[in-house]
Amino acid sequence: MTPDRPYHHGNLRQAVLEQATPVVRDRGASELSLRELAAAVGVSHAAVRRHFPDRRQLHDALAVEGFALLGTRLRDAVDAAPDYRARIRSLARAYLDFVTSEANLAELMFAHKHGEGGEAVSTAAEAAFAPMLLVFEQGLADEPPGTSPQRTALIFLATLQGLAGLVNCGMITADQLGGLIVEAVAQFPQGRDGR
């Protein structure tokens, strides 16, 4: 296909994202090439640049999709657990499963820069973590006034992110993770078991 020839593609933006996802998963975001993605989809580089003028915009779009996927997994984890303690264990497992099995995508998601497109990524991240915050808001509703569900959720997330980093760099094995999740969850306020 020549660069000046019009392209006919049903949803080029989505097709490019679908081609980019396995590249990120297998080789990392630094290996993404708009030219290679255009060739894989069967359109010109110029056609791809109409949707993604630069790699940053492609990275942002992939981050938004990644946060949507993470949000779905976290909501499913909450829905599958019967009470507060089970929900935070389930959230921990779902989060750690995602960021360790999708390590390159997670790295791209958390590396986004503020700027054009950054608002969409921030909004997607906020939506993804909403189920986690809701669990702490509901579970800690009866705790003393000094207990902040928002702060507790943030410390919980930081703890999980630290564990994920240790798994992803090989300092702890996936076998050790189950016991560490139990210990980590035990460090947080007991809360109440009502939904």
User: Domains (ranges, CATH) in the chain?
Assistant: 1-53 (1.10.10.60), 54-186 (1.10.357.10)
Please check the confidence at residue 113 and state whether its pLDDT lies above 80. Answer: no
Under a CB-based contact definition with an 8 Å cutoff, are residues 62 and 108 in contact?
A: yes
Under a CB-based contact definition with an 8 Å cutoff, are residues 92 and 181 in contact?
A: yes
Please check the confidence at residue 7 and state whether its pLDDT lies above 60. Answer: no
DSSP category for residue 102: T
CB atoms < 10 A from the CB of 141, how many? Answer: 13
Task: Give the pLDDT band (50/70/90) at residue 153.
Answer: very high
Of the listed ranges 1-10, 82-91, 98-107, 138-147, the least confidently predicted one is: 1-10
Please check the confidence at residue 184 and state whether its pLDDT lies above 60. Answer: yes
| Mean pLDDT (whole number) for 9-33 | 88
Predicted confidence at residue 3, as pLDDT, reads 44
Predicted confidence at residue 135, as pLDDT, reads 94
Please check the confidence at residue 4 and state whether its pLDDT lies above 50. Answer: no
Under a CB-based contact definition with an 8 Å cutoff, are residues 4 and 45 in contact?
A: no
CB atoms < 10 A from the CB of 161, how many? Answer: 15
E strand map for the chain: none
